[in-house]
Each structure stands twice: as structure tokens, then as C-alpha cells.
Copies of this chain bind each other. A is one copy, B any other.
Amino acid sequence: MGEFKKNSTITPIEESMSQWYSDVCLKAELMDYSRTKGFIIYRPYGFAIWENIKNWLDKEFKKTGIQNVYMPSLIPESLFNLEKEHVEGFAPECAIVTTGGNKELDEKLIIRPTSETLFCDHFKNVLNSYRDLPLLYNQWCNVVRWEKTTRPFLRGKEFLWQEGHTVHETEKEAREETLKMLEIYRSMGENLFAFPFVCGRKTEKEKFAGAVETYTIEALMPDGQALQSGTSHYFGQGFCEKFGVKFLGKDNKIEYPYQTSFGVSTRLIGSIIMMHGDDNGLVLPPAIAPIQVVIVTVKDEKVPELKDYARGLKAKLEEMGVRVKYDETDRTPGWKYAEYEMKGVPVRVSVGPRDRENGVLEVVYRYNGEKVSIPEEEFINSIHDIFKTIHQGMYNKAQKYLNEHIYEVHTYDELKDVLSNGRGYAKMMWDGTREVEDKIKEEFNASSRCMPFDQTPFGDVDPVSGRKAKYVCLFARSY
């Protein structure tokens, strides 16, 4: 069966973005469905993207002094229930272990949907004096949340993520940490994914269960819907008070410290697929592409020396630090072109007998389809510049799209037009009330709202309530 799969086409984006998305996930071999309903399998190609994201983020975290730890995957119900808002936020999504070693358990165990409670309980044990602060911890792990409807990478019963948890001596330091981590996430969009995230603060209603403030990064997808892609929370002292996390201060008094948490998940893979993909499949920015250059030889069955030439080319590119694949299988060049186009490999090099004689490579860029002839030596020496050009081209396109799809709305009708027609973000002066938030959600199904850092007002009145406006806020439909 599989040998024929590649020839089948994927659904065009215009026809159904949702079907296109599922097709790409499967046909680019990013994932597979599993026998565990609602759980996916991360196939090598999809997992390699996650590894590239993870390696980059892990380095950035460590530069700031963050250390990795690992907490139990199961949380006793009594511990989980200590923080009221937190429990209420997560209880409906919990998977619960009731049996272990053929015996019913004395106390039910919850598979971690997030680990604040375990971290707090541990902080209580290891934190003694100001000398121990700050505690800057992170863990890479799987979490389970019992979602009803699932979509590969975007929403699943299980996903992979990092959850950072830090404890600080002062409020100022903790607030700075919250924003420092948000900045790392923003920079990840710019430098790794080749698209800009919209960054801002969440509304009271939308913030994390137990947080004082939640900051978010969102990506605007080609269908005009926002995708929440990561969050950074400032907790104040709330969790520490509930869990009894205290320390001896410099002034010799016992105090509660200030806490943060922050996380991004494999959902990021979903944002990359949708942001850059096209009707031929995935389009990956070089920084996270598992294969940055693919080499295909043409007519190598007639000119076997071509294979040696291609292997040499591969070795030279690897010396330049490039992730390169030479597909030596006996499949046709046409099959290979389609395959690596589907997989979004940024640069394809094809070499036929004549190219080899001339020492010139035929190079095709995935993101814009451009085809150029480049002398071999020049290609090898400038490969990292080529990657930069591709990255910048992809970023500029995404930035342009975002700029063109944030609409300042001054009236209810303008708001309605933007949201009902899925045009993108409606940027509105908001009175800050839950009432307006709820109304916009109900009437236009716009569940994303985010208060950008730039709060320069462009009006005095909230067009929905007619009351005095307090904040600039972005509203959009969302995933």
C-alpha cells in the first residue's frame, strides 16, 4: 500500500484548511494515529522537529541559569486538590490511576496535567534561606489532559512540553523572570520558526488557574484564527502560601517567596505547519528542518559515478554543519521530488550527468519554488547565507500577513465584520469588563483575547459597551 501513498495528492488549502492540515501531518510522516484513542505517535520526522525546538530552548534556558529536573508523573489527589482555583481549572481534564500492582490504590493518583503542585511541595522541602534563591527549574515531559476533540499536535489527550517553575526572593525579580521567558519564546518565533508571535497579557478571565498574571504568545494562522502557542505566568505568593513554601530572608524573617511558571508544547509544531505550509505540503524554515538539503540524482542507473559524486557533495555539506540527506533508494526522481516537497525540505539539489560535468548544481528552494543554477563550490560556501535568505523571506511573508490582518475597529459593525468573516485580529479599545469579553465570545465565537504591550490608545470608548475604554485588546477566533 505505502508505495503508492506518495502519488496521492493532499486536499487543497482553499477547499478545506482542516483537511489539508490532517493530510500534511500524515503524508509528511510527522505523526500517526495510535491505538490509544486521542493519543498520537510522533514519527521520526515530526519528533526531529521537536528535538530541534527543544535543543534551542534548552540552551536559551540554561544561559539564564535554569536547571532541568524531573518530577513524578503521578500526583496524589490530596496534593493536587490543595489549590482551589487550580483544581477547578484542571479537574475536568484529569486521567486517574486507581489500580497499581493488581491492587486498588488507597489514594487515587492523577496523571500530571501540569506539575505546579509537585514543584511547590518540593520547594517547601528544599528551600531554606535567601541563599538558595532563586530556584530556577524546568522539566521536559509528557502531560495528559482528557480533551474531548483532538487534532494532531494542536489538541491531544497527551502532549510533550516543557514546564518552567521558578521561585524568587522579590516580586520584582519574579515579574522580570516571567517577561524574560516570554521574550525567549518571542525570539524563538523570530529566529527559529521564521514568523512573528503576537505577545501580550491575557484577560482576568483567561489567565491560568491560580496565576496573578498570564502572558501569552499567539500566532495568527492563514485562516484568520489565532493559535495560543505558549504562556508565561506570574503567580505572586499564592501557591507558596497554600503549599507552605517559605524562606529565611536576609532580614532574618520568615517570608513567602514569589513564583512563576511558563511552558510551550508540541503544539508549536502545529503552528509551523499551518503558518508556512502550501498545497504541496509542509514548508520548513532551515533552523528547525530535520533535513535542510536533500540531494537527488537523476539517471544514476545509467551513470553510476553520479552516486559517488552525490555522496561527496553530501560529505562536503555535512562538514559545513548542514543536515543533509542523499536519497539513494531506487525510487524515481519524480517520487523523490514529491516526497521532499511534501516534507518541506528547504533546499533540493538535483544532479544529472550533465550537471556533474559542468560542476553546476540545479537548486530549488521550497518556500518560493525558485529554481537556480549554482556552481558547486559557490553553493557549498554560501549555504548558510542561502538558509538566511530563505529564513528572512519566510519571515517577511509571515510578518506582512500579520500586519495586514490586524484591524483597528472603532464600531460594533467593524468588529463584527472582522470576527464573523475570520479576517484576523480585531484591535479594539476595551472597557476591561468581563461582560464585553463574554459578549464578543458568544456572538462571534472569538475566544482569543490578548492585551498587547503597546497600549497606545486609538479611541476613548469601548464600541461594544459604549463605556469608557481602558485597554487596547486584540480579539480573534482561535484554535
Contacts and interface: CB of A to CB of B under 8 A. Distances in A.
A187 interface: no
A1 B132 CA distance: 12
Contact of A76 (B36, B73, B109): B36
Interface string A96-136: 11111110000001010000001001100111110110000
Interface stretch (A142-150, A344-352, A446-454): A142-150
A61 interface: no
Contacts of A160: 70
B34 A122 contact: yes
B2 A109 contact: no
Interface string A55-75: 000000000000111111111
Nearest to A136: B44
A358 interface: no
A43 interface: yes
A95 interface: yes
Given A68-B47, A92-B102, A158-B74, A35 B118 contact: yes
Contacts of A122: 32, 34, 41
A308 interface: no
Contacts of A331: 131
B68 A48 contact: yes
Nearest to A68: B47
* Residue among A67, A74, A129 with most chain B CB within 10 A: A74
A79 interface: yes
A67 B323 CA distance: 14
B96 A100 contact: yes
A111 B97 CA distance: 9
A31 to B, nearest CB: 9
A76 B109 CA distance: 18
Nearest to A36: B72
A129 B36 contact: no
A318 interface: no
Nearest to A33: B125
Contact of A32 (B35, B40, B68, B125): B125
A157 interface: yes
A32 to B, nearest CB: 6
B99 A96 contact: yes
Contacts of A92: 101-102
Contacts of A147: 101
Given A74-B39, A99-B98, A128 B2 contact: yes
A97 B70 CA distance: 22
A329 interface: yes
Q: Which of A79, A109, A121, A128 has most B Cβ within 10 Å? A: A109
A76 B35 contact: yes
A142 B115 CA distance: 15
A74 B42 contact: no
Q: Which of A35, A71, A96 has the most CB of B within 10 A?
A: A35
Nearest to A93: B101
17 contacts: A3-B128, A34-B122, A35-B79, A35-B118, A35-B121, A36-B72, A36-B118, A41-B69, A41-B118, A42-B69, A44-B67, A44-B68, A73-B158, A97-B97, A101-B146, A141-B142, A142-B142
7 smallest CB-CB distances across A and B, nearest first, come from A2-B128, A101-B146, A39-B72, A44-B67, A42-B70, A96-B99, A36-B72
Interface of A: 1-3, 32, 34-37, 39-44, 47-48, 50-51, 67-76, 79, 91-102, 109, 111, 118, 121-122, 125-129, 131-132, 137, 141-142, 144, 146-148, 157-158, 160, 329-331
